C-alpha cells in the first residue's frame, strides 16, 4: 500500500479522482522513482496501465482496470469483428481484404454503397468512409494497405452504451448531423437522451461480458427490426455523461470505493 492509501493509476484518465494517485506512464520502468516502482509492485490492482504495461502486468498475474482483454482490442476493428463472429454477436456483414489488388475482391462481396474503415488506430469517427463508387474506393485504397469493409445499414442515429465494470454506466442516442452518415460526436453528431431500449442495453452488456471488456463504449444500431453491434470504443469520450448531468469523475470514485472496478 502506498502511503497515500489511494489506488494507483498510470494513465491520466482518473487524474481528478480523490481516491486515485496518478503517477504517469514511463516507457522505461527504471525511470520511475524507487518509491513509485514499489507502489506499482505492491499494488493489488493498477488502473489504466496502458496496453504496454497491461500486457506485462497480465504476465505477472497482477490485476488491472481496464482488463487485459479490454486493452487487447483497443482501436483494433479487425480483432473486434473476429470476436463478434466467433461469439455470434449480431454485427453488420464485414470482411477484411489484403493484397495489392484487394479492391477487385471487395466488389465480389459488396455492392455500393458500403462502409470502409481504417481498421487500426482510428477513433472519434475519423477513418470511416461511405464508399459510393469506384473512384471513392480508389481514394480509400490510397490511404490504407488493407481494407476493412462493412455493409452499410442506413440510419440517422445509433446508440452508445458505456459499460464500466460489470454494469451499464450510461447509454444515449447519437443523431448524425444533416448530410452526414456518421453519428460520432466528433463528426458533428448530437447527443439525444431519449430512452434506450432494454434490448440494446442487454446486447451491449452481454457483448462486453462475452469479450472480457470492462470499460468500453459499445456502438449499436437498429436496422430491420434488429440491433447490431457496430464497434467498441475503449477510449470513449465523456460528452454524453456531461450532457446527462453525470459527474464522470465522481462516478469512477464511487465505483472504486465500492470495489466494483
| Nearest Cα to Cα of residue 115 among 100, 84, 93 | 93
Per DSSP, the three-state class of 97 is strand
Residue 132 and residue 244: Cα distance in Å, rounded?
36
Are 136 and 58 within one domain?
no
CATH number at residue 169: 3.30.470.20
Listed as ranges, residues in the chain with pLDDT below 50 are: none
Predicted pLDDT at 203: 98
CA 260 to chain CA centroid, nearest Å: 20
Predicted pLDDT at 100: 78
Among the three residues 110, 136, 151, which one is the final residue of a domain in this structure? 151
Domain that holds residue 163: 157-257
Predicted pLDDT at 234: 94
Predicted pLDDT at 229: 98
Are 174 and 222 within one domain?
yes
CA 242 to chain CA centroid, nearest Å: 18
| Nearest Cα to Cα of residue 184 among 214, 158, 154 | 158
CA atoms within a 13 Å half-sphere pointing along the CA-CB vector of 115? 21
Assigned domain for 50 exists? yes
Are 128 and 162 within one domain?
no
Among the three residues 120, 151, 182, which one is the final residue of a domain in this structure? 151
Predicted pLDDT at 101: 83
Residue-wise pLDDT for 141-189, tens only, equals: 999 889 999 999 999 999 999 999 999 999 999 999 998 888 988 888 9
Assigned domain for 183 exists? yes
Amino acid at each position: 500500500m502506498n502511503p497515500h492509501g489511494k489506488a494507483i493509476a498510470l494513465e491520466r484518465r482518473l487524474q481528478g479522482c480523490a481516491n486515485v494517485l496518478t503517477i504517469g506512464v514511463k516507457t522505461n520502468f527504471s525511470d520511475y522513482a524507487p518509491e513509485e516502482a514499489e507502489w506499482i509492485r505492491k499494488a493489488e490492482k493498477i488502473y489504466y496501465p496502458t496496453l504496454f504495461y497491461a500486457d506485462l502486468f497480465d504476465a505477472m498475474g497482477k490485476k488491472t482496470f481496464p482488463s487485459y482483454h479490454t486493452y487487447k482490442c483497443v482501436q483494433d476493428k479487425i480483432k473486434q469483428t473476429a470476436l463478434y463472429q466467433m461469439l455470434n454477436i449480431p454485427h453488420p456483414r464485414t470482411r477484411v481484404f489484403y493484397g495489392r489488388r484487394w479492391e477487385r475482391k471487395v466488389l465480389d462481396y459488396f455492392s455500393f454503397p458500403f462502409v470502409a474503415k481504417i481498421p487500426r488506430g482510428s477513433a472519434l469517427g475519423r477513418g470511416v468512409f461511405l464508399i459510393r463508387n469506384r473512384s471513392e474506393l480508389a481514394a480509400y485504397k490510397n490511404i490504407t494497405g488493407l481494407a476493412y469493409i462493412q455493409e452499410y445499414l442506413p440510419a440517422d442515429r445509433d446508440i452508445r452504451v458505456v459499460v464500466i465494470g460489470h454494469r451499464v454506466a450510461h447509454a444515449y442516442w447519437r443523431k448524425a448531423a444533416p448530410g452526414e452518415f456518421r453519428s460520432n460526436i466528433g463528426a458533428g453528431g448530437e447527443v439525444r437522451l431519449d430512452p434506450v431500449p432494454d434490448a440494446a442495453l442487454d446486447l451491449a452488456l452481454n457483448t462486453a461480458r462475452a469479450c472480457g471488456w470492462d470499460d468500453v463504449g459499445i456502438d449499436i444500431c437498429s436496422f430491420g427490426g434488429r440491433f447490431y453491434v457496430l464497434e467498441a470504443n475503449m477510449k470513449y469520450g465523456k460528452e454524453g455523461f456531461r450532457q446527462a448531468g453525470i459527474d464522470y469523475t465522481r462516478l469512477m470514485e464511487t465505483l472504486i470505493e465500492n470495489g466494483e472496478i
